[in-house]
Amino acid sequence: MDRRIINALQIAPRAPFARIAPVLGVSEQTVARRYQRLRSSGVIRVLARPEPIRQPGSKYWTLRIGCRPGTAGALADALAGRDDTSWISIGAGGAEITCLTTVAEDDRAGLLDRLPRASNVLTFSAHQMLHRFPGRGEKDWIAADDPLDDDQRAAIEENPGITTVDAGRSARLEPSDGPLLEALARDGRASWSALAEATGWSERQVAQRVAALLSAAAISFYLDIADAAVGIHSVANLWFTVAPADLAVVGAQVADHAEVAFAAAVTGPTNLMASVRCRDATALYRYLTTKVAAVNGVRTVETVPLLTRLKQSHFLIENGQVREPPRPA
């Protein structure tokens, strides 16, 4: 039941428990109680975060940082403490850090400028994200023993009833959205009343603003999951080389694999990146030799197993649990 609740929240992170419960055949109280237990024990966290790829002047970059032996952990910890980083992992036998960072257009002294000159950095490559491929892998959870069927998914994905959008405000993120984003980054399932208190707006204004930002893809809701706690023990980044003429088709096909949590077209010699989650090394091997092997247009693929994840979308990973970062002093 816990796995099915997680699967439902992957499909619709803010779906009311009253909508999830009948789909799973349990009471609303059961869903709420199990969710709170999963959240308090660090297995899952729901959050919302902005989509820089939709915001002029702000871009996502994926960094690959080769480090001197024994120094990757300290550098990764330092990166995890920054507000402009996410999805920080140590892989390649402990010798490489992978990091997603948000870079403003006018940032002339950020990570892209400073990291290559750091004394413990041996190699450095930066890959700008050009296009994110949405796919079933973002909502189909590979660890689900009893995944939800199409009818159950459709019932959970029903519109939550927020259809009125305030046309008087921009669908782009504004400075006044800061308190709303901060509240949603810490609890993506916060109630309208809690968000109204955090922003000083009315509940109706909060609901309208969230609806406007979602409809414009200015923000997205995510479910952060502590992989090892739910049976995912083999996570890897795949770096594909694909002919430009095939990139759109190959990217869409790869993103549609249930094992793929994220796929994007990027700059650099490897022009497609995917994050893959499997139960174990055997399952990863099976995925590479079946589904990936069947995709026409893939010229090469580099597989980089991730040994340790220190930070996900927003939350830190501590002792295999998803934990909220400390509030700034």
Same domain, 81 and 138: no
Same domain, 60 and 75: yes
Task: Judge whether 73 lies within some domain.
Answer: yes
Same domain, 116 and 240: no
Task: Judge whether 182 lies within some domain.
Answer: no
> Which domain, by its residues, includes 241?
132-147+230-307
Same domain, 124 and 249: no
Locate all alpha helices (DSSP H) within the chain, ordered by sequence: 2-11, 17-24, 28-40, 72-80, 111-114, 150-156, 178-186, 192-199, 203-215, 247-255, 281-287
Is 175 in contact with 181 (CB distance < 8 Å)? no
158, pLDDT greater than 70: no
Same domain, 87 and 140: no
Is 240 in contact with 271 (CB distance < 8 Å)? yes
Is 50 in contact with 218 (CB distance < 8 Å)? yes
pLDDT of residue 94: 83
Indicate the residue among 96, 128, 160 that finishes a domain.
Answer: 128
Task: Judge whether 47 lies within some domain.
Answer: no
H or E element at residue 308: strand 298-311
Same domain, 78 and 140: no
Same domain, 121 and 90: yes
Task: Judge whether 323 lies within some domain.
Answer: no
323, pLDDT greater than 80: no
121, pLDDT greater than 60: yes
Place of tokens 């090469």: 300
In 3D, which of 244, 242, 306, 313 has the Cα closest to residue 273? 242
Same domain, 123 and 243: no
What CATH number does residue 56 fall under?
3.30.70.920
**237-254: pLDDT as tens digits:** 999 999 999 999 999 999
Vertex 157, ends 22 and 133: CA angle to 5°? 145
**193-211: pLDDT as tens digits:** 999 999 999 999 999 999 9
| One-letter identity of residue 21 | A
Per mean pLDDT, which of 26-30, 90-94, 173-177 is the most reliable?
A: 26-30
Is 131 in contact with 251 (CB distance < 8 Å)? yes
In 3D, which of 170, 166, 167, 160 has the Cα closest to residue 191? 160
What band does 10 get if pLDDT is binned at 50, 70 and 90?
confident
Task: Judge whether 209 lies within some domain.
Answer: no
- Structurally, how many domains does the chain consist of? 2
Same domain, 256 and 302: yes
In 3D, which of 235, 230, 271 has the Cα closest to residue 98? 235
Task: Judge whether 12 lies within some domain.
Answer: no
Is 45 in contact with 224 (CB distance < 8 Å)? yes
Least confident of 68-72, 75-79, 136-140, 225-229: 136-140
Task: Judge whether 196 lies within some domain.
Answer: no
> pLDDT over 70 for what percent of the chain?
83
Task: Judge whether 30 lies within some domain.
Answer: no
Same domain, 106 and 240: no
Average pLDDT value for the chain: 85
What band does 167 get if pLDDT is binned at 50, 70 and 90?
very low
